[in-house]
Structures are given as C-alpha cells and as structure tokens.
Structure 1
Amino acid sequence: MRFTVKHDIKGRIRIHLTRGRLSVRQADLFSFYLTSLPQVTAAKVYERIGDAAITYTGSKEDLIAEILRFSFDDEELNEIVPVTSTRELNQEFQEKLVTKCLTRCLTKIFLPAPVRAVWTAIQSVPFVIKGIRKLAGRKLEVEVLDATAITVSMLRCDFNTAGSVMFLLGIGELLEDWTHKKSVSDLAGSMSLNIERVWQKTEDGEVLVPISDIKEGDLVSVRVGSVIPLDGIVDSGEAMVNQASMTGESEPVRKENGMYVYAGTAVEEGNLIVRVKKAAGSTRFERIVKMIEESEKLKSSLETKASGLADALVPWSLGGTIVTYLLTRNVTKAISILMVDFSCALKLAMPLSVLSAMREASSYKMTVKGGSFMEAVAEADTIVFDKTGTLTKAQPMVADVVTFEGRDRSEMLRIAACLEEHFPHSMANAVVAASRERGLVHEEMHSKVDYIVAHGIASHIGEDKVVIGSYHFVFEDEQCVVPEGEEEKFEALPAEYSHLYLAIAGRLAAVICIEDPLRPEAPEVMKELRKLGIKKIVMMTGDSERTARAIAARVGVDEHHSEVLPEDKANFVEAEKNAGHKVIMVGDGINDSPALSAANVGIAISEGAEIAREIADITISEDAMFQLVTLKAISNALMRRVHRNYRFVISFNFGLIILGVMGVLAPATSALLHNTSTLCISMHSMTNLLKDEEKKH
C-alpha cells in the first residue's frame, strides 16, 4: 500500500493513496482494516478522492507500518467484509435524490404549461391507483387522502399544486426508504462483522481456528451455550436449538443427525458436530438483513401508534372537506383541508426518529436489535446487573492456585484450563489466560465435556471423574470432599477472592483463586442512571453473601442477591415485571440467558457468551459501562423528540387548516407549507439526539 501524508497532528493523520479514487468495495475493505487496528479510534475513507482521515493513539510510526502492510487482495479480509455496502447504498440514494430534484426543477423551468400538465398527469397515475386499491379494500388510509388531493387539484387544472404534492411525497418516501435501509444495513453489519473463532473437528481432534479458515464441507463442533457460526447439516450429536431470531419459534427445536441448522441460532442444550454448507461472508450478512427486515421487533409501539393515528385521521380529513364545502359552498376552502393532512408527518417522522436513534446508538458501538427496545429502555425504572463480567471487569485474573494432597500447581491449572476453554466465560477466560501465560500447553486428555449451567463442568481423565465449578456444584451436587487433614488449609482460603473448585475422583484437588476487580466507573454509572430515571438498581450473583455484600456496598446498588441460580434471576425479573416495573437485565454469561430473555430489555456484553448475545435485545462493549448511560440518554431523548413531533404536527397542520378555511391561505400555499413542514420535521428527525455536551465518556 503506497500513500502520502497530507496532514499530521498529534493523534490524527490524513493520508492520500497514490492509486487515487477507490471503488466502493476497496473503500469498505480499507475502512474495515483501519478500524480493526487496535491503535485506531476512528477512521473515515473518502473513496472519490482516495483519502483517509485516521484518529489514533500511540506511535505514528507503528500506525504507518500497519497501513503499509494493507493489501486489497487480502483473502481473509475479503471473506469477512460483506459485499453489500452502506457506502454503496448512500451513493445510490444520493443519486436518486439529486435526480428527483433536478427533474422537478427542469420540468418547471423548461417544459411548456401544456406539456407540464401531461407530465403531471402521467406522474399521478401511481398515486391514484394506490388510492383506488385502498378504497377497493374498504380502507380509508393515507393513500386515499393523497390520491384525492392530487386528483382534485388536477380536476381544477391546478397542476402546479398537484406536482408539488407528488414531489414532496416522493422526497419523503425516498428519505424514509434511505434511512430505513441504512439503519438496517448498519445494524446487520454490526451483527455480522464480528471476527469469530470456531472449534474445527479434524482427524487429530478439535482445533480452535478463525471462522474465515472454515470452508464448505468442514466439520465444526458447537457446544451448549454457543451460537452456530455457519449454515450446515448435523453430522453427529443432538441438541435443542433456539431458532427464535431466524424463524420466530418461541420454543427450542430438537436437532439431530441429518437435520439442517442455521447460522446465528443458539444451542441451549446438547452438543453438535455440523458439516458446513455455507462459508462466512456476504451470505450471512444478507440473511441477517432479511431477518431484521422481517422482524416485528424492528417496529416500536410508537411507530405502530403513529401509523394507526395517521390512518384514523384520514376519514376526519375527508369529512372535514365535505362539511366545509356544504357549509360554505366554497371549493377553495374545502380543498384547503384536503391539501393538509396529519398523516404524512406522523407516518414519516416517527419511524425516522426511531431508526435514527438506533443508528446513533450503533455509532457508540451498541447494537440495538429493534426500535421497541429503545422505547422500553426509556420507560424502564428498574435495572438488574449480573456481577461477574458486568459490574466487575470482564477480564478477571488468577491470583493464586491452592493445591491439596501435594498436587502440582501447574498441573492443576493446566487441567482446569483444558476443561474451561470449551465454555468461555469471564472466569473461564481467566483460567485459560493464566495457563497460556505460564506456557502450560496441553493436548485434549479428557473425554466428553458436560457443562452444567451456573454450576460447573464435568468430564473424565482416564477412569477418574473430574469436576470444576462452584462450591454448591462440587461439594453439594457432586458430593466431593476435602482431603483428610487439610481442612484448616481449606478454611484459610483468602476471602477477598472468588473461588473455583477443582476435584478429581471425588476429592478436592485445587482451588483457583480469581481476582475479580470492580469496574472503577461502576459507582458513577449508578449515579448517572438514577439521574436519567432509574429508580431501583439490583445486583445478582452466584458468589457468596460475603463477596456480594462487599461489592454491593462499593457499587451503590439498592439491593443485592447472592448464591443465585439462572432460574432465580429469571424469577426475580418476572416478579418485578408483575409488580408493574419495566426491567432492564444486564449480563454476559450463559447463566444470564433466562433473565435476559425474561426482561423487558436484555442487554448483553458483546465479549460475553455467544448465547447471551444472541438472546439479548441490545449488546454493548466490555469496559464501556458508560454506554448504558448513553443508551438511556438516547432513549429518553428519543421519547422527548417523538412527543415534540406529535405536538408540532398536530398544532401546525391544524393551524394551516384554520387559515385555509378562513380564506387566508390558498390551497397551493397550504399544500406547500404542509409538505415543507413534513420534510423539515423528517430531516430534523434524522439528526443525532445527543448534543456534544450530553455525550457520556
């Protein structure tokens, strides 16, 4: 990659590629590459001039070295980045918008009046047909009002008004379509561009590899709590698979040998070996786009209410037109009502507000799967946090390994890592990381691994059963015991750490002490959430009461619950909902999935368990707790904007009707003001909700 530096200040650089103008595909590849670099905080690629503006941290020399390594022919990059492009979508709609505006101006300036009348009549045909179809279906909806206004204007030979009405309606539809498709595309992109690793089954066992290495016909292993990464056929195993995001089925579906499974669906119980039918790339992106577009979750009740109100007002507008004519016998005054309807602005501004809010949330690296969830966040008064990986850092560390019966510390850590790496969670990741840091490589030495949600893992090494997990799982469920004579050592385990118990052949072999540091921003986040309307903050954890009480006091939550199981979290959420509260659940693990599903809004940490991300309605980044504050602020601002839009649409258009009936405004002027106001409020609805001073960290 050859380039020149055009501008350079500390933390920001602008470069010009010597190849000049880029294609849309090349710009997408380069943009994705830049944003994936760890030192890059923001990057924008300008394809028409071949420039890129990059904001970064760290060494400029290191950044330049990374850029020099970039290649448009990188096969892995081309596999990951979808062919479908938001950049291409923007170009397409910009061209449509410019074409429509130029056509309108040129026809008004250069076409003679008779020709312009014919041109307007031709343009009116689609609008009239839509209106007739609605009437034929016995529906008095907005299309009927539009068709009537256009038809009456043309019958009065007021072709200029008819043309203006159709032009502004067309602009509004174009902007709505543009914003909708861009929002869906951005959302799908954030869901499909995650670089994942999968367990590939080979002759030598299972190997963790990047998803881009997987080709059609390869075998991948999918265990409980994981999301099926690619479409395929079950080669062996059986499982209950949650397909709600793909098919809308509320209950998990049983999958066994020979059955088809879809990428993006989650394994709730069991294990599968899947033979891949479709590799990663644009196919997955396109399916996610289709899934989002077909999902009713995309619609908030605000949009449904606005659409229903718009259609409900149509008969009143038609009735008002008729009554005005009967009372005044003045066609002009009657038509002034017909030219002004509440429907256009209501049907256009509300969806644009919701979709723009979703797009704004995505700019803060939050993925919102539907407009209804932003509405629910705004209405929420209760928030429930899982502790580990949410209120505490998602990257806990192994502080110590306490062994029993003279066992080797490194060997015990190696066994623990061998088991835990199959079911990633923040504590499991800590064990695997500690093993890797100490150079404790291993081969798979155990048999089939079983995961017991919120408890632990069980397997066999040779003839010995090995279990690792919570105190309840190891000592109460599995009836393991502390070796004789080492009870004092067990009682002296450091209380400031979380404990992971490893037992072999029914006897405690080691206790892995996990340091689980509190996120320093957590107390401040609690304060900000209260300012934004959250009245009750709850922490739930599987840890002991001692640990839970200490963390709760430092964070500043209203209440805490310790030693809870997944069903306890879900039951608590259901109880709060039954008490009339709107509940947000925040979690990152497999054991949080039932509660995430039960809450009005489930928010998962994007680096957490795959099934939690799949079930959740919104995902946020780890080490970014203030995203919760930003999300709540955007959602609250969305509701304020929607209510302002309602008030403005009703009052402004009612004012136009009054002025029209009084004869102050001509029908053409009323139509122009009405459509211009609709366009203005729609454009305003597409702007960001948060001002710079309101942005949170």
Structure 2
Amino acid sequence: MDRSAMRKQQQRRLFGAPRLEPALLTVTAGALAAGGIGRLAGAPGLADLCWALGTVAAVGPALSWVLADLRRGHAGVDVIAVLALGGTLLVHEYLAGALIALMLATGRTLEAAAQQRASRDLRALLERAPRTARLLTDDGVSTVPSAQVAVGDLLAVGPGEVVPVDGRVAGAQAVLDESALTGEPLTVRRVQGEAVRSGVVNAGGAFELRATATEQDSTYAGIVRLARQAGAESAPVVRLADRYAAWFLPLSLAVAGLAWLLSGSAVRAVAVLVVATPCPLLLAAPVAVVSGLSRASRLGVVIRDGGALEHLGRARTLLLDKTGTLTAGRPRVLDVVAAPRWQPAQVLRLAASLDQYSPHVLAEAVVDAARERGLRLSVPENVSEEPGRGATGTVAGRRMTIGRRAGAAELPTWARTVDNRAVLDGAAVAWLCVDGSPVGAVLLHDPLRPDAPRTLRRLRAAGIERLVMLTGDRAEPAREVGAVLGLDEVRAGLAPADKVAAVRAEHEGAVTVMVGDGVNDAPALAAADIGVAMGARGSTASSEAADIVLTTDRVDRLADAVAIAVRARRIAVQSALGGMVLSLVAMVAAAFGLLQPAVGALLQEGIDVAVILNALRVLRDDRRGRPQLTPSAEALIHRFAAEHDDLQDVLDAVRDAADRLSDGAGPQSLASVGEVHRLLTERLLPHEYAEEHQLYPALAPALGGPEATVTMSRAHAEIARLARRIATHLALARQGGSLSPEQLDDLRACLYGLHTVLRLHFTQEEESYFSLAP
C-alpha cells in the first residue's frame, strides 16, 4: 500500500467512513414529501403507503444502532425510537412514523455534520502533514519521502513549505509561521543554530535545516498520533447520557403504558413514545465534547479523547512540576555584580565574549543577556573549556576565566556579598576572573514564567480548589515560588517515585491533574487521572504519557484548556437535561391526549435542533477569562517589554552605585551616583512616562477601566519621587563639596529603595500586562 492510500485509510479511521445518515435523510424526506403530495392530490392510500415506506426505511438503521449499543454492554436510548416507529405502524399512524423517521435521520445527520465541523482542525493536522523533504547532498537537491530523512541530513525548506522534521537552522535565518502548533498568528524569526519544530510553515525565504530527529520522532508526528486518538465516543459525559437513559427509558415506557391503560387508546401510548424519542440525549453530549476538542486544538492544546476533556472539566486538584512548567526551564541572568573600579556592563560583556562559543546552558544565558542589552562582544582567543569548571581564554590581550571560582583564598567583601546573595536567591554564580583575580560575578536563576500567576488565578476561577507543586528541586527556591504563586502546598526534593506517590495520595476523592515537562515527570503524568505535558520544549516521554499536550510554550494554555473543558461539560449536561425536560413535558401532554403522534413528532424535531445548536456553542470563542487587546495595545506591550530588557543595565547601575556608597562618599562613589542620575533622566523616566500616557490608557478598556492600572501608576510616582530625591542629594553634594553621614545614609537608602521598587514594578508589569500578548 502506498503512502497516499495509507494516509487516506488513517483519515477514515479517525473521521469515519461515508455515513448512512445522509442517505437515510434523503429517503425519509422524499417519502414524507411524496406522501404530502399524494394527500394533496386526493390519494390518501398512496400517501399512507409513502409514509409507511419512509417509516420502514428507518426501522432497519434504528435497530442496528440499538444492537450496536447492546454489543457495547448497555441498552441505548434508541430503543424508544424503535418502539415509536413500530408503534406508529401498528396503530396506522403513518404520518407520525414518517415524521419520526425524518426526525431520527435529521438528528443523526446533524450530529455527523457537527462532528465534521468540530473536527476540522484535527483533520487539518493530517491533511497538512509533510509528505516529502528536499535533501541537500554533494550531487545537488533531491526530493525524498520525509520518512527517509535521517538525523544529521541537510534539508532545504522553500517559501510556504511545511518543515518536515525537527532540526536546527543552518545558514540564513528562518521566518516561520508556528500557528499550527502554538495557535499564535505572529511569525517568529529563528537564527542559525536555533531549533525548529516540524509542522511549522516557512513564512519567509528559503533556508537550510539540519535534521535533529527522524519524521516519526519529530514534534508534528507526535501531534498527529494524538489527533488519531481524539474523539468523543468514550467520553464519560456520553456515558452520563446512558446513565440518564437508565431511568428515562423505563419512565417513558411506564408513562406510555399508563396512558394506554387509563385511556384505552394505543394512539396515546404511541404519541408518548414519539415525543420521548431521546435524540437530545443521544446527540447533545457527543456534539459538545467533540466541539470542545476542536476548540482546544485551535489554541495549541491537543487532547487525546473526549474522556480526558470531560475529566478535566471535573478536576478540583492540580499538581504542577516547577522547572519548565511554572518556571521558564532555562536560566536567565538575575544580576551582575562588579568589583570596585569595574562596571556591571563591562563584566557582562567580557563574560559573554568568553562564553559565546560554549554550549553550556549557563553560558548561553550569559550571552543572551549581553545581546539583549546591546553589548558588543569581542572575539576571544585560545579558548579552552573544562567541564564543570568553566571557560578560559584571552580577550583584548588579557587572560580571563568565567565559571566556578577556583581555590579557597580570602575573598574581598564584595565577593562574599555575592556568595550570600546566591544562597538567599537560590542562584548559580559565574565568576569572571581577569589575570587570576575576580572582577565580577553573574548571578543566574530559573525565573518564574510571567504568565504563571495569571494562569493560576484563572484556574482557581475555573473551579480548581487545590494547587500543589511537586519538584525535585531544593526546598528554598521551591518555597519561594510557592509563596509568590499562592500555592496550597509545596513538596520539594522529590524523586520520580515520590511524585507518583504524591499523585496517588491526592487522588483520593478528587479528579487529579498533573502537569509536567521532563522525563522524570512521565510516571506521575501516567499516574494522574489527567496528565498534561508541556510539549513545546518538554521531553517525548512526558508527551507520550500525557492525556493532554500543550504544543505552545505558554502555561496559560492550561487555563484555556480547563475553561474549555468546564464549559463543554456544562453545555453538554445542560443540553441533555434541557432536552429531556422538554420531552417529559411533551410526554405528559401526549398522555392526556393533548398531542397527536404527528404533532408530537414535529415538536420533538424542534427540540432536537434546539439542543444540537446549543451544544455547538462550545465551538464559539469564550474569552471571558482573557482580556481582549486591540492590535495597537499588543504592539505597545511588545515595545515596552523590549524596553524592559534594555533597561536591565540601569537597574544594575542603581544597585552598583548603592553598593559603592557603602565604602564612603568619595569622588568615585559620587560619580557612579551621577551616572545613575543621567541614566534615570535620559532613559528610565521617559520609559515610565510613556507607559503612563500610552500603554496604560491602551490597556484600560481590556482591563475594565482606568482603575485597573492605578497601582502601577502609584509605582511610577514613587519611582519619580526617588529619582528627584537622588538629584537633590547630588545638588547638595556639589554645593557643600561632600555629603554628611546622614545624607550618605539617606542617599544609599534611596538607591536601594529605587532598585527594589523598580524590580517589583517591572515584575508586576510583566506578569499582569506583558503576559497578555503572544
């Protein structure tokens, strides 16, 4: 069998073979119309024959659906439809029978159409899967099946093509559309050496890709495997409909029998069965659940099946890994500390210059920080690296090392302060030594995801009652993260087996969700009722063990998934129960002779359409938990987020000036304070002014009005006040030639206070505002 035939067979398995329902709808509609024409033409016998044939045509499929339910071990609610069809034939209510047949066919066809519409995003995964790749060899370019691509092959990806396998950019940069995986519409740029996932689209010029995985081991193939398993057939909420049928079926039969017994009219019994035909119960739950799967897939959330979606909608306990889930999973520069007569920017530039050829994850973070701040890196010479110790080389003619501190010699005061800060902040330290002497240090840590606090607030709003962090990390940084996020419990220092035990302990009496990204999280994901994997950068093992995979590197998609699951389950139950209540009312009316079978059939048809349309509401975008930003507001967020990165050197300079004042108010210390004042006046204060008058007004409509940004505006006022106070101290020092001890203490307090306020203010803006935009 060729690849095309296999692909079509896979699609048939996922989305079903051609259905009987459209043909049945055509036959029953034709029979009803022909009978109507016959009645209008004065041929009642011909009319009854047409309607009877339409009824008989529906009996066979209805029986097959009942038998299919029985084979699955339960008496489906289609039993009532079969009884109603048979009853109309027995009492010669052929018009009612034809209407029931049309109702049954219409309901089933609507269900098929709803599933087709709801599954279009999942189907698109298969349809756009790359089939071939262009392989670059010494002999030129050749087109080969993507399954033949091996790790290390060099590929060419043309404009508009789908990347066939995971790899890294080789040569020119790539401009990519990652919306199929992430749900984000903006293009991204990947420079040489950066990773590219299969399934994304080349939105720019042609580029070369060095394969790092085969087709089957690549990101997109894993998502397609999940899509093949997606469906609502085994959803617990559908079984809930069957549980409703356990009492609805005997109740319907009892009412029909009682109506016949008390009135002596079989027609009334048939009328009761006609309006009791439970299409709302059959259709509402599957349509809502499959719609929820489709809605989630558009946001980059792949859910294995409807059962996982329904379970997620009932979850009350959420367990989360720390590294890579609540935190970024990659180290970032926390602070740069410089020795006397050195500047933090100078230390960072030299450290990054030496580290730029190192593959170490801490070295990458140092280089990234230097480039974000616009520092020009030098080309090092004679570079060597000792694993676990760091790199050594020559920069600008001086011998330098970056990494762990060697020896146990007595440290200067500033260096001992760095060690203390590293312990307090849970940070790693990369020491820069020039000619054997330490001149500075770079502190690195794994930062909290900016979108994590908002995500957890949304999860609580969606019904999650207990949030617990399970991590193998040390207790101190874990407790700090837990305190910032307001978690109910933090368990640190856990091995994979400990995480599994914790998941099982939380499982008692509640639906438990576990979220993680690493290989060590896979057992815990499998042990939980619902496992959620951060699949964008997480391990394959965690994705394979999970029930839900977030294909974009945003933890807020977890809150989206929970909100969709809760809404889908609520609408499914609402639709099923609403349809049943309407049917019960109609049954009572039919039992008292107020509804004839034909009229009841028309009424039941209207009920079916209403509940199916209600279930399809799940497909609509419900963004009540996410503020709606205008394009101009998103652009401003990106602008000011970039400015935050650029202003990190200003924050470093403020702290460095405060540290220098600890050694006294000498000329060098006052000069550093003067430099801080210049940076504040020329760069920081204009940034804060622009935020106050451009960003905050643009965000106000989405956040509910200007009152939402009042706290941040108060921080702007405090920053401006401290800047003015620093300027006043400098003016007094110029007038008197020096600072008094009291002035020195106040100036130092102003600088430390300003540094603290700025760090807190930047963090609040990044969490509350900048995390709103992609």
Q: Return the match for 2:515 from 582, 586, 595.
A: 586
Tell me: CA distance 1:560–1:582, structure 2 relative to 1, closer, same or farther (3 Å): same
SS at match of 2:493: coil
Unaligned segments of structure 1, at least 5 residues: 1-79, 204-211, 223-228, 231-262, 265-272, 421-426, 442-460, 469-480, 503-510
1:618 — aligned with what? 548
Please report the TM-score for the alignment, with normalisation by the length of structure 2.
Answer: 0.54
Partner SS, residue 543 of structure 2: helix
Find 1:292's aligned residue among 200, 210, 230: 230
Map of 2:765 onto structure 1: none
Distance 1:430 1:171, change over 3 A: farther
Alignment of 1:516-555 (within 5 A): 516-555=446-485
| Change beyond 3 A, Cα 1:491–1:678 | same
- Residue deviations 1:239-285 (CA, integer Å, cap 9, x gap): xxxxxxxxxxxxxxxxxxxxxxxx99xxxxxxxx9997989999999
| Counterpart contact for 2:534–2:543, Cα < 8 Å | yes
Secondary structure at the aligned position of 1:383 is classed as strand
Task: Give the counterpart letter for 2:524 in structure 1.
Answer: A
> Number of paired residues?
509
Residue aligned with 1:630, SS: helix
Find 2:487's aligned residue among 557, 565, 572.
557
8 Å contact kept, 1:586–1:596:
yes
Task: Give 1:141 shift.
Answer: 4.2
Q: 1:378 to 1:129 in 2, by over 3 A?
A: closer
Equivalent-residue separation in structure 2 for 1:614 and 1:298 (angstroms): 21
User: What corresponds to 1:60 in structure 2?
Assistant: none
Quick check: 2:482–2:490 contact (8 Å CA) kept in 1?
A: yes
Out of 287, 293, 300, the position equivalent to 1:358 is 293
**Correspondence for 2:150:** 219
Structure 2 match to 1:129: 60
Corresponding residue to 2:529 among 575, 600, 606: 600
The answer to whether the Cα contact below 8 Å between 1:83 and 1:282 also exists between their aligned partners in 2 is no
Q: Distance in 2 between matches of 1:275 and 1:378?
A: 35
Rounded to whole Å, the distance in 2 between the matches of 1:543 and 1:277 is 34
1:550 is displaced (CA, Å) by 2.6
Once residues 52 and 534 of structure 2 are traced to their aligned partners in structure 1, the CA distance between those partners, rounded to angstroms, is: 55
Distance 1:173 1:156 in 2: 26
| Cα gap change, 1:501 to 1:333, in 2 (>3 Å) | farther
2:238 corresponds, among 298, 303, 306, to: 303
Deviation at 1:662, TM superposition (A): 1.0
Q: Report if aligned partners of 1:627, 1:696 keep a CA contact under 8 Å in 2.
A: no
What stretches of structure 2 of length at least 5 have no aligned partner?
Answer: 1-6, 154-163, 166-197, 200-210, 338-349, 380-384, 391-403, 432-440, 628-774
Tell me whether 592-601 or 344-353 shows the greater mean CA deviation: 592-601
SS at match of 1:574: helix
Using the TM superposition, give the Cα deviation of residue 202 of structure 1 relative to its aligned residue in structure 2, in angstroms: 10
How far the C-alpha of 1:95 sits from its partner, in A, is 9.1
2:642 is aligned to none
Report how far residue 680 of structure 1 moved. Answer: 1.0
Alignment of 1:46-445 (within 5 A): 103=30, 107=34, 110=37, 114-130=45-61, 141-187=76-122, 189=124, 215-220=146-151, 290-292=228-230, 299-310=234-245, 313-341=248-276, 343-393=278-328, 396-397=331-332, 414-417=357-360
Deviation at 1:396, TM superposition (A): 4.5
Using a 3 Å threshold, how does the CA distance of structure 1 residues 466 and 525 change in structure 2: closer, same or farther? closer
Separation of aligned partners in 2, 1:100 and 1:129 = 13
Cα distance, 1:289 vs structure 2: 5.2
CA distance in 2, matches of 1:409, 1:626: 32
Alignment of 1:642-657 (within 5 A): 642-657=572-587
Aligned to 1:667: 597
Alignment RMSD (CA, Å): 5.4
Cα distance change, pair 546–627 in 1 and its aligned pair in 2 (3 A)? same
Superposition deviation, residue 169 in structure 1 = 0.9
When Rg is computed on C-alpha atoms for both structures, the one with the higher figure is 2
Between the aligned partners of 1:632 and 1:278, the Cα distance in structure 2 is 29
* Amino acid in the other structure paired with 1:485: A
- 1:431-510 paired onto structure 2 within 5 Å: 484-485=407-408, 492-493=418-419, 495=422, 496=425, 498-499=427-428
Does the C-alpha gap of structure 1 residues 277 and 643 become closer, same or farther in structure 2, counting only changes over 3 Å? closer
- Counterparts of 1:281 and 1:119 in 2: how far apart (Å)? 56
Deviations 1:126-160 (A, max 9, x none): 53235666589798644443233223323444332
Query: Which residue of the partner structure matches residue 538 of structure 2?
Result: 609
How far off its partner does 1:115 sit?
4.8
Judging changes above 3 Å, is the alpha-carbon distance between structure 1 residues 148 and 101 closer, same or farther for their aligned structure 2 residues? Answer: closer
Q: Is the 8 A contact 1:397 1:431 kept in 2?
A: yes
Percent identity of equivalent pairs: 26
Aligned partner of residue 449 in structure 2, secondary structure: coil
Q: Deviations over 1:637-695 (max 9, x none)?
A: 33433443344233222221111111111121122212321221112111137775624
The structure whose residues are more often strand, as a share, is: 1
Quick one: structure 1 residues 395 and 275, their matched pair in 2 at CA, closer, same or farther if it must change by over 3 Å?
Answer: closer
* 1:642–1:388 distance in 2 versus 1, CA, 3 Å: same
Contact 1:216 1:276 in 2 (8 A): yes
AA at the equivalent of 1:337: V
In structure 2, what residue type is equivalent to 1:688?
V
Q: Does the residue aligned with 2:59 lie in a helix, a strand or coil?
A: helix
Letter in 2 for 1:145: I
CA separation of 1:94 and 1:346: change in aligned 2, threshold 3 A? closer
